[in-house]
A and B are shown apart, each in its own frame.
Chain A
């Protein structure tokens, strides 16, 4: 998959508790505002970040977000890279289905977040943690 783009700047946001998920939302919002995303696009990327950040916390046992401003030609966008050292996802296709949940949520986290961004990729192996990369272009 592509997920291409040159990183112009990036920052790391640790995710260890539910307050950190709020910080994730605030940092993503700040970057989306800086890039002059429309209000709807800001809301979409912040909501996706909130879902994915919660997954990192609840299913991955915590981890971090690498938040980056990426450039591809004339396009600028936000790349989210959530990583954890948790148990991994045994069946990605199943995890992406709406309504599938192993936790306390509604099972909309992964599939829903995928719909809110332009590019989406999951790298995971059972026992080896999970990395989710999502990009929303302006």
Chain B
């Protein structure tokens, strides 16, 4: 079966969508990513959509679902690399992708994930310390 590969790098999962996804493929990616987050205890998910020539309401909703499911599983999601023409069209279509963190490129996306995950772990430690006192 056709699948979009998910790469693991430490606590992070990386996905580059390079094909024109039909709806079933998008749903398969949603399931695969959710399972992988839980399997490897991932803290961050980066989805690179720089090769996508359109994002319609279905793909937009799938991205939003992935971000929500990841959040419930204690992982942050960032969507990077949206083409300007895609952004213009999405907003005109009526989707502003609420709840999805975006970044211009992979580099700033990774930076965001590292900072967020570090801040999150820092606050966990603080709770742990206070319990010991």
Q: Are B85 and A112 in contact (CB under 8 A)?
A: no
Min CB gap A28→B, angstroms: 10
| A19 CB–B CB distance under 8 Å | yes
The B-contacting residues of A in range 73-130, CB under 8 angstroms, are 98, 105-106, 108-109, 111-113, 115-116
| A40 CB–B CB distance under 8 Å | yes
Contact with B along A2-30 (1 / 0, CB 8 A): 00000000000000001101100110010
The B-contacting residues of A in range 42-70, CB under 8 angstroms, are 42-44, 46-47, 50-51, 54
How far does the alpha carbon of A25 sit from the alpha carbon of B84 in the complex, in Å? 19
A40 and B56 in contact (CB under 8 A), knowing A108-B93, A108-B94?
no
Q: Hey, which chain A residues are within 8 Å of B24, CB to CB?
A: 18
| B32 CB–A CB distance under 8 Å | no
Contacting residue for B23 out of A18, A39, A40, A108, CB 8 A: A18
How far does the alpha carbon of A115 sit from the alpha carbon of B90 in the complex, in Å? 11
How far does the alpha carbon of A109 sit from the alpha carbon of B93 in the complex, in Å? 8
How far does the alpha carbon of A113 sit from the alpha carbon of B92 in the complex, in Å? 9
How far does the alpha carbon of A65 sit from the alpha carbon of B20 in the complex, in Å? 19
Contacting residue for B95 out of A21, A43, A108, CB 8 A: A108
How far does the alpha carbon of A112 sit from the alpha carbon of B92 in the complex, in Å? 7
- Which among B22, B55, B88, B90 has the greatest number of chain A C-beta atoms within 10 A? B22
Q: Are B58 and A54 in contact (CB under 8 A)?
A: yes
Min CB gap B72→A, angstroms: 20
Contacting residue for B85 out of A39, A98, A115, CB 8 A: A39
Q: Hey, which chain A residues are within 8 Å of B57, CB to CB?
A: 51, 105-106, 108-109, 112
Q: Are A21 and B23 in contact (CB under 8 A)?
A: yes
How far does the alpha carbon of A90 sit from the alpha carbon of B22 in the complex, in Å? 28
Contacting residue for A21 out of B22, B93, B94, CB 8 A: B22
Min CB gap B62→A, angstroms: 11
Give A residues with C-beta under 8 Å from B.
18-19, 21-22, 25-26, 29, 39-40, 42-44, 46-47, 50-51, 54, 98, 105-106, 108-109, 111-113, 115-116
Give B residues with C-beta under 8 Å from A.
20-24, 53-58, 60-61, 83-86, 88-90, 92-95
16 A-B pairs whose Cβ atoms sit less than 8 Å apart in the complex:
A18-B23, A18-B24, A21-B22, A22-B20, A39-B85, A40-B89, A43-B53, A44-B88, A47-B89, A47-B93, A54-B58, A105-B57, A106-B60, A108-B94, A108-B95, A115-B94
| Across the A-B interface, the 9 shortest Cβ-Cβ residue pairs | A112-B93, A43-B85, A18-B22, A18-B23, A50-B56, A108-B57, A40-B85, A43-B89, A108-B94
